[in-house]
Amino acid sequence: MSTWDGLLTGFAFALQPGVLIYCLLGVTLGTFIGVLPGIGAMAAISLLLPITYYISAEAALIMLAGVYYGAQYGGAVSSILLRLPGTPQSAVTALDGYPLARQGRAGVALFTSMISSFAGSVIGIVVLVLLAGWLSRAAVAFGAADYAAMMVLGLVAASTIGSAHPAKGFAMIVFGMLLGCIGTDVNSGVQRFVMGRTEMLDGINLVALAMGLFGVAEVIGNVRDPDRQAVAGRIGLRAMAPERDDLKRMPLPVLRGSALGSFFGALPGTGSTLSSFLAYAVERRVARRPERFGQGAIEGVAGPEAANNSASITAFVPTLTLGIPGDPIMALMLGALVIHGVQPGPMMLETRPEMFWGLVASFGIGNLLLLILNLPLIGIWVSLLRIPFRWLYPAILIFVCLGVWSVRGLTFDIVMVAGIGLAGYLLALARFNPALLLLGFVLGPLIETNLRRALLISRGDPMVFLERPISAFFVVATAGLLVYSAIQAWRRRETPEPGGASADGP
């Protein structure tokens, strides 16, 4: 079956009313759980699993997938309005989305996020259709050394996020990496810094960390300073329509973000969190005036949102082409298929073409539905800001607790999020950037595990990082980036220009 025939079959399948309704159900649910801080696709899909036993395997997969990518749309909403990431992937969106909201441009930020999300998804779908085979080969070809080298590049590239004070940024990354050490060490099985608590054996929960650092810390900050609330601004189509200048700033970040997201999404285990961080870092690097970032740069919303949405589409590549789930949520969806007697993997394209192509077609349909659903919702979301603090913040705290609890069902995690929230507030007072802590936390353990695994497999030979072509490429790229940054910093010192105008140069 050619790609074209496949897509036709897929659309014919996915547009049947009995299937379409599940797609709509999935994306709608996804949007809402995405908006709710802490309650992620994992919890929603777990809850939906029993329902899937009663519908066809195809409809079940289409619905669950809808929740998965729909959550990426919703996640940005609370990030932008309340500096409270609905999903860890959208944490970076808060960096510029929230300043926009405080300037009364929440509608514009949400509009940008929705359009970028949609464009990112569409690009992700095109990549999935055209390059699925290539991406799945790349996913298998990536070994431990390649992951380690790639993560180091990612860390170096992203470390400039919010680097008004490089030392502070560096401190946050290192702190994040140290927090990432907590738990059972994969390589040795040694339990590190668990303080005798079984609950700590699997490390600090990413959701608890993200919710605490951003959400709870923000709530504490606002209680102390009630005038900080973002202004709702005008609501209505005109208010959310971006100005011409905003529109001009969007296409390139969306393209760059989608490229990053499409690639990283397809690699099992790296996921969309990294891609949104990298997209932000890249936008900041290529910007003519990087100092606008953190002050409400449209690019800082468009890039990451395009990235995490395209990643949520290409994340299906290893699952569909290899039967290898890229993250725990994918594993959950694979489980749902197995219960239906469907063996996911390379044979699916031949044995269940209507399922494969139906799912691909449903990505397109689902994203269109998401756009149609979300654009009118922008006004409603913005009006959330009109809710007085005394109502909004207790509600937020309840959702944060629910969300964190939903991951493992342990009260311990709620105590944890409270502690992290307090720490996050103190860090915010001292003007440390919590996004960098989160980045260090995500990347640190990945770098450590893969570095040590690579050396274990090479029997201790460090040359493995230069002998493997993929790894060598990343090592060289990292070195190049470091040299480039050093030269830039040196030049800036050589020719100090008044008013910081030096950063305007191309």
> To the nearest whole angstrom, how small is the minimum distance from the Cβ of residue 348 to another protein?
9
DSSP 90-138: GGGGHHHHHHHHHTT-HHHHHHHHHHHHHHHHHHHHHHHHHHHHHHHHH
> To the nearest whole angstrom, how small is the minimum distance from the Cβ of residue 350 to another protein?
10
235 CA to centre of own chain: 28
Residue 140 engages another protein in binding (rule: CB under 8 A):
yes
Helix H or strand E encompassing 184:
strand 183-184
> To the nearest whole angstrom, how small is the minimum distance from the Cβ of residue 269 to another protein?
7
Q: Which is nearer to another protein, 118 or 147 (CB)?
A: 147
Give the span between the Cα atoms of 443 and 278, in whole angstroms. Answer: 12
Of the listed pieces 240-248, 250-258, 335-343, 390-398, which binds another protein according to CB under 8 A?
Answer: 335-343
Residue 347 engages another protein in binding (rule: CB under 8 A):
yes
Residue 41 engages another protein in binding (rule: CB under 8 A):
no
Binders in 3-32 for another protein, by CB under 8 A: none
The letter for the amino acid at 487 is I
Q: Which is nearer to another protein, 372 or 457 (CB)?
A: 457
Alpha helices of 211-352 — where are they, by DSSP H?
A: 217-224, 237-240, 244-249, 251-266, 271-286, 299-314, 316-322, 328-339, 348-351
Q: How many residues bind another protein (CB under 8 A)?
A: 52
**Opening angle at CA 379, ends 374 and 385, nearest 5:** 115
Q: Which is nearer to another protein, 140 or 415 (CB)?
A: 140
Of the listed pieces 8-16, 189-197, 225-233, 428-436, which binds another protein according to CB under 8 A?
Answer: 189-197
Give the span between the Cα atoms of 80 and 110, in whole angstroms. Answer: 7
Among 311, 315, 324, 438, binds another protein (CB under 8 A): 324
Q: Do residues 306 and 334 make contact, with C-beta atoms less than 8 angstroms apart?
A: no
> To the nearest whole angstrom, how small is the minimum distance from the Cβ of residue 286 to another protein?
33
Give the distance between the most distant pair of CA atoms in the chain: 70
Beta bridge partners of 183: 192
Q: Which is nearer to another protein, 165 or 192 (CB)?
A: 192
Instruction: Name the region of 188 (left: φ>0; alpha: ψ -120 to 50; beta: rest).
Output: alpha
Q: Which is nearer to another protein, 349 or 384 (CB)?
A: 349
Among 18, 166, 226, 346, binds another protein (CB under 8 A): 346
Closest CA to 356 of 402, 307, 321: 321
3-state secondary structure 159-179: CCCCCCCHHHHHHHHHHHHHH
Among 40, 124, 162, 326, binds another protein (CB under 8 A): 326
Residue 187 engages another protein in binding (rule: CB under 8 A):
yes
Among 3, 16, 198, 295, binds another protein (CB under 8 A): 198
Binders in 78-137 for another protein, by CB under 8 A: none
Residues of the shown chain interacting with another protein in the complex, contacts defined by CB under 8 A: 42, 45-47, 49-50, 139-144, 184, 186-189, 191, 194, 196, 198-199, 201-202, 268-269, 318, 322-326, 328, 331-332, 335-336, 338-339, 341, 343-347, 408-410, 453, 456-457, 459
